Structure 1
């Protein structure tokens, strides 16, 4: 675990990258931000979490770190011990956790529940969607209070790293670490611009969509877009199944997870 602290005093805000070793966008964003030598108005802690898995180019060494919280200092796994150490470093802080995915190219956020922190921060991030995970947060870092997780784009892509950098800056502005952007500042790519009055659509995970053993998987629906009852959803080795009820797909892809396609969600409303 690599830790940097910027500013004077005890940080109450933190950014975590590369919990998964196959998601380098977090490390790249943090190192790019440090290279800016930013002047901060509040202290902040920057953490590159799973250095060993990142160096090996694998998701994890022994166990998924983002299913290992709160961890145990005497755990048999590297990630079990690391989860304990990371949770200790983040105790009492408002946290941004940077990830990437195989299912969706644009940034979106996840929280355990839409609490006061999510309501005050997420409308200022360059995202269109916010997902409330509820019971599916168990073992994940977002089970830690006041934590926002952002999927920054497709795994190992330059776009995800660029998105992550601008998401870090937006989060730190929203939490008072950086001053609010002013006219003339360097601006993010057009795809990450948000206009005053833009709304963030909120979803809540309902259930997992199971995926059985097969050689070939196909997905026929788009993430965050309504699926009507009877619509074809996915197929395994040519055998398709249809939706029984209306839902909105989240983190749905053919090959992202071993035993599920992703999640079915409900649309709750919007944050402005």
Structure 2
């Protein structure tokens, strides 16, 4: 785990990259921020988390770090021990965690509950939507940090994701009073989606997804397939993080749109 700091004193704000080693956009954003040497009003901690997985260009080494929090310092896997180290480093820090995805090309924010400080910070970021995890936060960073915003910055490995992450880091640091070069963005109205269920995968050689994330799927619509066998919606939903190969055992999630029946 690589830890950098801008500004003197004990940071109350942190940015975390490379929780997944195949998502390098946040590392680029942190390195660009360090190289720019911006004017700092209060200190910020900058963390590249899973360096071993990053070097291997794989999601994780032994288990998914973002399903392992709060971790165990004496745990049996690299990620369980790393989760405990990261939990300790982030104690008391308002945190931005940067990710990228195989499901959507524009940034969106993920919070544990869309009714508090995390949502307020997310509304000051230039993202397409806010997703509330609801009950689907087991083992995620939300288990270790009281105020955290995760941002999916775009497609994994893309230049656009790195550029989006770079912009969002600066917006987050303005919103938390770290950067003084520009005022924070005004709060924006974002659509809010609450995760409702997972969409499991059956074992297959080939997977397909027919729909776009955040666009309503109607009951009876075929939205995915496993070896050509179509998966049909039982009821209306909004797909979130839905992709053919983003996860090993699920396509992604169904969600309900806030102030909507589906």
Q: TM-score range by the shorter chain?
A: over 0.9
Quote the residue 1:189 is aligned against.
Answer: none
Q: Is the 8 A contact 1:201 1:269 kept in 2?
A: no
Residue by residue over 1:1-45, the C-alpha shift from the partner in whole angstroms, topping out at 9 and shown as x without a partner, is 111111122111000001111111111110010000111111110
> Superposition RMSD on alpha carbons, in Å?
1.5
Quote the residue 2:167 is aligned against.
Answer: 166
Residue by residue over 1:139-183, the C-alpha shift from the partner in whole angstroms, topping out at 9 and shown as x without a partner, is 01123210100000111111111110101000000111012626x
Q: Is the 8 A contact 2:221 2:233 kept in 1?
A: yes
CA distance in 1, matches of 2:55, 2:248: 23
2:196 match: secondary structure: strand
Task: Tell me which of 233, 241, 244 is aligned to 2:234.
Answer: 244
Quote the residue 2:182 is aligned against.
Answer: 181
The alignment status of 1:235 with 2:225, answered yes or no, reads yes
CA distance in 1, matches of 2:154, 2:96: 15
Pairing of 1:139-158 with structure 2 (within 5 A): 139-143=139-143, 144-158=145-159
The alignment status of 1:99 with 2:89, answered yes or no, reads no
Residue by residue over 1:94-139, the C-alpha shift from the partner in whole angstroms, topping out at 9 and shown as x without a partner, is 0000000111110001011124212321111010201000211110
Q: TM-score under structure 1 normalisation?
A: 0.91
Task: Tell me which of 191, 196, 221 is aligned to 1:206.
Answer: 196
1:114 match: secondary structure: coil
CA distance in 2, matches of 1:207, 1:119: 21
Report how far residue 65 of structure 1 moved: 0.7
Report how far residue 230 of structure 1 moved: 1.1
- Contiguous gaps of at least 5 residues in structure 2: none
CA distance in 2, matches of 1:169, 1:269: 31
Task: Tell me which of 247, 251, 254 is aligned to 1:261.
Answer: 251
Residue by residue over 1:190-210, the C-alpha shift from the partner in whole angstroms, topping out at 9 and shown as x without a partner, is xxxx8x674211010000011
Q: Is the 8 A contact 1:174 1:180 kept in 2?
A: no
Q: TM-score under structure 2 normalisation?
A: 0.95
Q: Is the 8 A contact 2:39 2:181 kept in 1?
A: no
2:179 match: secondary structure: coil
1:135 match: secondary structure: coil
CA distance in 1, matches of 2:58, 2:51: 11
The alignment status of 1:12 with 2:2, answered yes or no, reads no
Pairing of 1:28-67 with structure 2 (within 5 A): 28-67=28-67
Moved over 3 A (4+): none
Q: Is the 8 A contact 2:38 2:181 kept in 1?
A: no
Quote the residue 1:190 is aligned against.
Answer: none
Aligned length: 258
Q: Is the 8 A contact 1:210 1:261 kept in 2?
A: yes
Q: Is the 8 A contact 1:142 1:149 kept in 2?
A: no
